[in-house]
Amino acid sequence: MKNIRRKQIAFLLPSLLGLTAFFLVPLFYCFVFSASRTFGRFRFSGLDNYLSLMGSKAFRLAYGNTFILMTGYIAVLLALSLTVSYILENSRGTMAFLAVTSAAMFLPSVLIVRFAGILPGAAEKAPRLVFLFIFLWKHAGINALILRSASNRMDPAWREAAMIDGAGKGQFFWNVEIFHLLPYLKFLFIFDTTCFFKLFRESYLLYGLYPPDGVYMIQNFFFNNFENANYQRLSSGGTIAVLTLFAVNLLVYKAGEKREITQ
Amino acid sequence: MRSHSRTSGFSQMAVRILLGGFVLVPVGAVAALSLRSPLSLRVTDLAGAMEQFLSWGQYRNILFHSPEYWVCFWNTLFLLVPAMLLTILFATLAAYGLCCGRRTRGQAAAVMLYILLSLLPMQILLVPNFVALSAMGLIGSRLSVILVCSFSPYYVYFMFRICRQIPSEIFEAARMEGAGELKIYRSIAMPQMKSGIWLLVLIGSADLWNMVEQPLVFIQTPSKYPLTVFLRNMDNSAGYAGSIVFSLPVMLLFLLCGRDAAEQIELL
């Protein structure tokens, strides 16, 4: 038995080695140097980097925008795809339709950015709406597909029992179905978070490295400050962002855990 | 009951038309504009209109008159193919390692580690990655981007979700028969994960096809930049056709493995 476990670890080894070399050790290194005056030779400076970062207007703008837009966009996306999957019935045609609409996620950014460029003045006047449009366009299909197929897997006996007791479709949805969908919604939250940060590509294609204030996000801040090579300050920014992300996700993960229905 | 099903039929139709239109209109609009002639002609009659709005001019410019387009196209492929192959190798190996044995604490901790790391946006990881790559002296080479992309923790978590669905009794039975772990991985786990791997290829290639950040920071040589960076600077004389041509390989890939992939998404 022990022998098998050793072999299993051997399977994990290549990936873990890469993870350690490219992510874990350097992340830890950056975390340590976020409290140093210079990068590469440690000279303790306490919270100086953090304080100077908080004082920076660009960082506050980027941090605030990221927080607001991320929660707002993901909320709209999940609401939209829940509505779609609620209205569409469980049939082969529906699944094929949703599979085709989810193709949008795989299409290159240049395509949708070209389209956003056609609408006159939109990119300058309403950048947040344009970003929302792009975000929904790319991900509404795949989110609805995942939710719809999760609903399909629900035990049909539940619905029948509820119908016999006189519950309508809406009542059943809010009292039972939503709790069945909760674990999937959480998975989608993680998935959509990673997708949200990829909006940097559309941003770069639309505006280059300096987007308008409304959509100036933490990704832009990091990218632009990279050029200045002030790595210790970037490291403290990274630490703040990492901690916020972990906290938000822990919160989401714990939310409504007791009422979740898993089969 | 009857009127109820009719209204639900109507709202279903409405959702399909709205969502379908929402997804298709941008693609259709760009495709339509890609047929506009790069020169602005004065339209006086039907033939003139045909020449203005139904011309292959943009496509001709892209395919035959812009060598940089093809240089960047190959740059993208040189990054994408090795990165994708390595990702498949590392992710399936790790996924098998994570789910072939008993559920232990160590296994749960490893899964958690992959989830947490895959939450981090790559822009935050740019500094740590850069530190690691420059310590290895890889900055400026294509290998830098390939390596960083192929260890992406998200895909390991993804393959783990797929591999978890294989009933572990199969592995047990094979072990009873005396099959080694490597043999089980190769001849049982890999075939069972086949459609999952196709989905990985689809998601991974779509992502790598769009690469912007890592090449800009790690490669730093414009002649090695991928196509997306190049397409940004393209004007209307060929830009629309350029985006369409650029999208075709991904659409083709979607047609090839879309069915397997959709099946797998439904199980996710």
Q: What is the pLDDT of residues A50-73, one digit of tens each?
A: 888 888 899 999 999 999 999 999
Weakest-pLDDT range from A138-142, B48-52, B147-151, B213-217: B48-52
- The per-residue pLDDT for A246 is 87
- The per-residue pLDDT for B2 is 42
- The per-residue pLDDT for A263 is 53
Query: Has residue B4 got a pLDDT over 90?
Result: no
| Per-residue buried b or exposed e for B190-224, using 16+ beta carbons within 10 Å of the residue's own CB | eebbebbbbbbbbbbbbbbbbbbbbbbbbbeeeeb
Whether residue A22 lies within 8 A of chain B, CB to CB, comes out as yes
Q: Do B181 and A204 touch (CB under 8 A)?
A: no
Chain B: give the shortest CA distance to residue A71, in Å: 15
d(CA A211, CA A219): 11
Instruction: Tell me if B7 is assigned to some domain.
Output: no
Tell me the mean pLDDT in the region A222-250.
Answer: 84
Instruction: Tell me if B31 is assigned to some domain.
Output: no
CATH class (in words) of the domain with range A57-259:
mainly alpha
Instruction: Tell me if B43 is assigned to some domain.
Output: no
Q: Which domain holds residue B133?
A: 67-267
SS3 B37: coil
Q: Which residue of B has its CA nearest to A138?
A: B23
Chain A: give the shortest CA distance to residue B266, in Å: 5
Question: Domain count of chain B?
Answer: 1
Whether residue A3 lies within 8 A of chain B, CB to CB, comes out as no
Q: Cite the beta strand spans of chain B per DSSP E.
A: none
Q: What is the ipTM of this complex?
A: 0.85
Whether residue A6 lies within 8 A of chain B, CB to CB, comes out as no
Instruction: Tell me if B2 is assigned to some domain.
Output: no
Instruction: Tell me if B186 is assigned to some domain.
Output: yes
Neighbours of B65 (CB within 10 A): 10
Question: How far is residue B9 from each of residues B3, B13, B253, measured CA to CA in Å?
Answer: 10, 6, 33
Instruction: Tell me if B8 is assigned to some domain.
Output: no
Interface of B with A in 43-82 (CB under 8 A): none
* Residues forming a β-bridge with A36: A44
Whether residue A147 lies within 8 A of chain B, CB to CB, comes out as no
- The per-residue pLDDT for B41 is 65
Query: pLDDT digit string (tens) for B126-180?
Result: 888 888 898 999 888 899 999 999 999 989 998 998 898 888 888 889 888 888 8
* Residues forming a β-bridge with A186: none
Weakest-pLDDT range from A216-220, A234-238, A257-261: A257-261
- The per-residue pLDDT for B1 is 40
Neighbours of B111 (CB within 10 A): 18
Ranges of each domain in chain A: 57-259
SS3 B224: helix
Mutate to test the interface with B, among A15, A16, A263 (most CBs of B within 10 A): A15
Q: Do B119 and A190 touch (CB under 8 A)?
A: yes
CATH assignment of the domain containing B89: 1.10.3720.10
